[in-house]
Amino acid sequence: MTRFGKIVLGAAFGLALGAQAQAQSKGELHIYNWTDYTSPELMKKFSEETGIKVTVDTYDSNETLLAKLKSGAAGYDIAVASHDFVQILSREGLIQKVHAAKFPDYGNLKKEWQSPAWDPGNEYSIPYDWGTTSFGYDTAVYTKPVDSLKTFYDPPAELKGKIGMFGSPTEVMSLVLVYLGKPQCNSNPADLKEAAAVLEKQKPSVKLYNSDGIQDRMASGETVAHQVWSGDFRRARAQRASLKYLFAKEGGIAWMDNIVVPAHAPNLENAKIFMQFMLKPENSGMHSTFAGYPTAVTGAEKFTDPAVATAPEYLPPKGWKYTFAPSCDEKAIRAYDRIWTKLRQ
């Protein structure tokens, strides 16, 4: 999910997809997805099974997706949106109801992922995949056992100046609030001051704030600890075995990407066919292998590459506390923004 990789690889996949699956006459499906997040093999399989021609367009942030759909000039049948944006999109009337609960394979969804908080009754969406956000670090550099996020917010000498943080204020703030045990989307001045103080104190130890290229930085040793998405971290660990993902005692942040159908999608029926296609364990597993993140479909693990499915950061341990950071109101966003701007003065 790095921006750099997305652009390079996205261009290649776009070409590859455009070239195949043309002759069929069962209509088309226009997918709008994160870059480097659509398995070309899976799309090929979909086209072969259904005769529907797939085109993929990519974006690099939820905000881009929102802006694009808002501009009305979309023409997409499928979009992939993070859980916090599903709520925004539905509230703004930018996606339409598909009543996924009525799909024959709806039962394939694991119980805990059915009817999530951001989409009760799965009226608008089905899960695409999900993951967690925490810190990863190099056990070769910092050898002592780590169980708390404190190690990274108030780091020991070994880690000072070599910590990487995300480059987006909302993601930085949500994990800090978990660390402090405070509620998400916080606009309580006292809590905000505390969070700001943690970040200010941490700053001298931070090498950089950037959500791109984490995998590369951790693999090369450029940073020895980093705020990171679980799936990204697995790829880094594949290059440097001493890396370890922390499931901290304070808990962590989780997110889920979801398949939604934009309002006025030109091929609504094909979009529904695609959603049902993604509910099949073999297809979901194929996606999981490609993306490196677990999905919400029962039995998908069986079709996921074991190297991916057995990775320590693939799934959190049973009982680990994680929070789905919701979409925040303007007040909280403004406050985060202000902390973020001050921090980088």
Partner 1 sequence: MTRLRSLLLMAPSLLTIGIFMAVPMLVALAYSFMTSSPYGGVQMPFSVGAYIQILYDEDFDGTLAFTTDYLMIIGRSVVLAGLTTAACLAVAFPTAWFIVCRAPRQRQLLLFLVSLPFWINTLIRTYCWVLLLRDEGLVNHLLEGAGVTDEPVTLLYNDGAILLGLIYTFLPFMVLPIYSTLERVDHRLIEAAYDLYANRRLVFRRILWPLARPGVAAGALLVFAPALGSFLAPDLLGGGRKLLIGSLIQLEFTSGRNWPFGSAIAVLVSTGVLIAMLIQARRGRPPSELHA
41, 48, 49, 63: which one contacts partner 1 (CB under 8 A)?
63
Nearest to 123 by CA among 92, 100, 91: 100
List 55, 115, 139, 210, residue binding partner 1 (CB under 8 A): 210
CB 45 within 8 A of CB 286: yes
Among 32-40, 176-184, 217-225, 312-320, the segment contacting partner 1 (CB under 8 A):
217-225
344 binds partner 1 (CB under 8 A): yes
Q: Is residue 262 part of the contact set for partner 1 (CB under 8 A)? A: no
Least separation in angstroms between residue 16's CB and partner 1 is: 19
Confirm or reject binding of residue 147 to partner 1 (CB under 8 A).
no
Q: Is 200 near partner 1 (CB under 8 A)? A: no
Interface positions, 155-184, toward partner 1 (CB under 8 A): 161, 167-170
CB of 226 to partner 1, least distance (A): 12
DSSP class of 60: S
55 Cβ contact partners less than 8 Å away, ≥ 6 residues apart: 17, 18, 28, 29, 30, 31
Nearer to partner 1, 142 or 290 (CB): 142
| Binding residues with partner 1: total (CB under 8 A) | 46
Beta-carbon count within 10 A of 55 CB: 16
For position 340 contacting partner 1 by CB under 8 A, the verdict is: yes
Q: Which of residues 1-40 bind partner 1 (CB under 8 A)?
A: 3-4, 7-8
CA-to-CA dists, residue 230 to 143, 247, 290, 314, angstroms: 21, 10, 14, 7
Determine if 345 is a binding residue for partner 1 (CB under 8 A): yes
- Determine, following the binding rule CB under 8 A, whether residue 278 of this chain makes contact with partner 1: no
The Cα 6–Cα 34 span in angstroms is: 8
Closest contact distance (angstroms) between CB of 133 and partner 1 is 15
Rounded to 10°, the helix 40-50/281-291 angle is: 160
Quickly list H helices, 240-309: 268-278, 281-291, 306-309
- Residues in 219-258 at the binding interface with partner 1, rule: CB under 8 A: 220-222
The least distance separating partner 1 from the CB of residue 34, rounded to whole angstroms, comes to 15
Long-range Cβ contacts of 85-88 (<8 Å, 24+ apart) = 85/327, 86/118, 86/119, 86/124, 86/125, 86/258, 86/260, 87/118, 87/119, 87/326, 87/327, 88/327
Instruction: From 72, 88, 79, select the one nearest 34 (Cα to Cα).
Output: 79
- Binding residues vs partner 1 (CB under 8 A): 3-4, 7-8, 61, 63, 66-67, 70, 88, 92, 161, 167-170, 187, 189, 192-193, 203, 206-210, 212-213, 217, 220-222, 327, 329-330, 333-338, 340-342, 344-345
